[in-house]
Amino acid sequence: MCVLKCAADQAAFLGLKMGGNKIESLLTFDELLNSVYGKYIGFAGGARSFAFSSVVTDSRNVKEGSLFVPLIGENQDGHKYIPQALAAGASVVFVTDSVYQKNVNYYMNLASENLDKTFIAVENNLAALQNAARAYVQKFPKLIKIGITGSSGKTTTKEILASILRQKYNVIATEGNLNSETGLPLSVFRIRPEHEVGVFEMGMNRQNEIGEIARVLAPNYAIVTNIGNAHIGILGSRENIAAEKRKIFSYIDKDGAAFVPDQDDFVNFLCEGVKGKCVRFGKDLPKERTGVQFVSNDGINGTRFLVDGIETRLRIPGLYNYNDALACVALAKELGVGAKEICEGIQQVKTVGGRGNIVAVNTRMNSKGESKKVMLMYDCYNANPDSMEKALSLCGSLEIKGRMIFVLGDMKELGEKSAEEHSRIGALATLSKPNLIVFVGPEMENGARAAKLSGFANVRYFPTSDVEKVSDYVLDYVNDGDFILLKASHSMDFDLIAKRIDSAEAASA
């Protein structure tokens, strides 16, 4: 048995040569141990065969050659899944040192049963994951690193920017919603030597989360889409949110650039202390400055505009998405991407699953055995007052043949402002002239009350997100040609309501 703190001493003691592994390791033994301030536990065989080709925090995602990082959460301790991870092929495992010290014999038995596996004790598994990811990113000094944050629009902005930059560069970008304290580190482990640009989202659910994950990536360029009320229940004020979001600019040097929304009331605050350029973007800036000229808002068909005289169309509807595209145009120009490439990249962008999709669907049969042809807009991944207001505004601008139905669910993490914001959204929803508003969830009772007080009569309220009851009510109400908006935070299961309304989705579920 050996328990050594210094990676170099460990390697010398064992006389190991780390380059002869069957798989090419993302980090060497020394690089990993030094970056996470870890200590090797176990037997010599695990260090001799050391290599890992992927990193996971969920034992269900382990594959041959994975580094498994068992995280400790409020309701779950990932350490109990270490045996499953080893059985699935994990080659390296982190163990929180305090957990290891409480049960040394257990972990030494695991090591003796898995002599070709590497066990590393670390003080904090989350910090170790982030530190290992930071060390990995530093292996790619020529990579152009771009970070994106904001209260809303992060994923759309990432998709637009990645599509544009792929016209010129080999791009790696965040997959799905891996933008958190754990998601961002997992995302950067997908960087490979052939990549020229990395485009990564950065989200937050607590104080200093942006600071921590910005340290992992250390972006050369970064975009803040906006400063809204998302997570205000956690951070307390928009001022605190802006201060947190601004941390994404901390690693930009004199050759980099920060991109900030021109019409945001925190625009000057965001630019304070930026060492590189601070570039403003927004639809009200003159074309002489940006090279961009608005042409038309085509409703459900998106937005048309010119880039240096070349016309393109962003097919994602909503002027707020157009504003996100302007950030991407500005950054692409900073990287030397030409107008033709920018326009081609924008043309190729499609809506992201669960985020503002508008599709024509045949509904599942209702209680009368009838199926209807409707337009369905479902934005079921997340919701905050800003994104909710934007979705309602978009719906109010659309010209449709049938009726407008809103199904609005709770917005999470608003804290003491929750009742106020849900009431405000309930009142705003009536201004978009819907025919029916269905409010869902305990917080949306405030929205239903505000809508009724605003003089809107056709309100239906469900205290819980009962997928069957809500979808069945909507299915019995709609007629051919109607338009349905589904918008709520992800935990409200509106994605399941969308699947239950859409006959094609319902059949495949």
What is the per-residue pLDDT across 387-427, written as a single tens digit (0 to 9) for each?
899 889 888 888 888 999 999 999 988 888 899 999 999 99
Q: Residue 44: its pLDDT value, please?
A: 66
The pTM for the full model equals 0.80
The number of residues in the chain equals 509
Q: Residue 353: its pLDDT value, please?
A: 57
Identify whether the C-beta of residue 82 lies closer than 8 Å to the C-beta of residue 94. no
Q: Residue 69: its pLDDT value, please?
A: 97
Identify whether the C-beta of residue 220 lies closer than 8 Å to the C-beta of residue 188. no
**Rounded CA separation 103/81 (Å):** 15
Q: Residue 506: its pLDDT value, please?
A: 57
**Rounded CA separation 395/377 (Å):** 9
Between strands 310-314 and 357-362, the pairing is unpaired
- Given a cut of 50, the residues of the chain with pLDDT beneath it are 1-21, 509
